[in-house]
Homo-oligomer: A and B are copies of this chain.
């Protein structure tokens, strides 16, 4: 076998600039580890079958739910259960987020639309 190699988050985040376009940096047990940069606000959506973990690597994420907003700071993670409507945003200029979710997960969930990204790049 090939010896597993460490993945450096800062190095990988340095390889892309665009916001709201997750990059795949790892796979395990049918889940994917993705990195994304957040700027401004995304769109309201939910995932029918997938729970989603957001770990903030840099900056602060603002996650809106229908009943309230939650701020998630560097070194904190948030798990959004399947079926729960949410709208992610950067609180401040830019936020770096590690996502963990099933490989089947689409960024816009059941909302779809022009901000949907398929065929994610692997870094």
Chain A residues in the interface with B (C-beta under 8 A): 1, 3-10, 26-31, 33, 50-53, 57, 63, 65, 67-68, 70-73, 75-81, 84, 100-102
Contacts and interface: CB of A to CB of B under 8 A. Distances in A.
A75 B9 contact: yes
A52 B90 CA distance: 30
B53 A33 contact: yes
Copies in the complex: 2
A28 B53 contact: yes
Contacts of A31: 29, 31, 100
A78 B28 contact: no
Given A8-B76, A9-B77, A10-B75, A68 B29 contact: no
Contacts of A30: 29
